[in-house]
Amino acid sequence: MAQVEDGFRDFAVACGGPLFRSAWWLTGDWHLAEDLVQETLGKMYRRWRGPESVDNPMAYAHTVLVRTYLAHRRRRSSAESPAGNMPDSPIDDGDVTLRMTLMAGLNQLHPRDRAVLVLRYWEDRSVDDTATVLGISAGAVKSRSFRALQRLRELLRADLGDLSALQ
C-alpha pair distances (Å), 141 with each of 91, 103, 161, 164: 32, 21, 26, 24
Footprint on residues 7-26 left by another protein (CB under 8 A) = 8-9, 12-13, 16-17, 20-22, 24-25
Residues 56-85 that bind another protein (CB under 8 A): 60, 63-64, 67-68, 70-71, 74-75
Q: Is the dihedral of CA 62, 67, 69, 70 positive or negative?
A: positive
Tell me if 52 contacts another protein by CB under 8 A.
no
Query: Is 21 exposed, middle or buried (CB count within 10 Å of its CB: 0-12, 13-18, 19+)?
Result: middle
Q: Which of 125, 91, 121 is nearest to 105 (CA)?
A: 121
Per-residue contact flags (x/-) with another protein for residues 132 to 161, judged by CB under 8 A: -x-xxx-xx--xxxx--xx-xx--------
According to CB under 8 A, which residues from 92 to 131 bind another protein?
93-95, 98-99, 102, 112, 117, 120-122, 124
- In the list 7, 43, 58, 104, the residue contacting another protein (rule: CB under 8 A) is 43
5 interacts with another protein by CB under 8 A: yes
Q: For residues 135 and 117, give the distance between their C-alpha atoms in angstroms, rounded to a whole number.
A: 15
- DSSP category for residue 156: I
CB of 137 to another protein, least distance (A): 5
Asked if 39 touches another protein (CB under 8 A), the answer is yes
At residue 130's C-alpha, the angle toward residues 124 and 126, to 5°, is 45
Least distance between another protein and beta carbon 48 (Å): 6
Least gap, CB of 118 to another protein (angstroms): 8
Q: Is 31 in the site for another protein (CB under 8 A)?
A: no
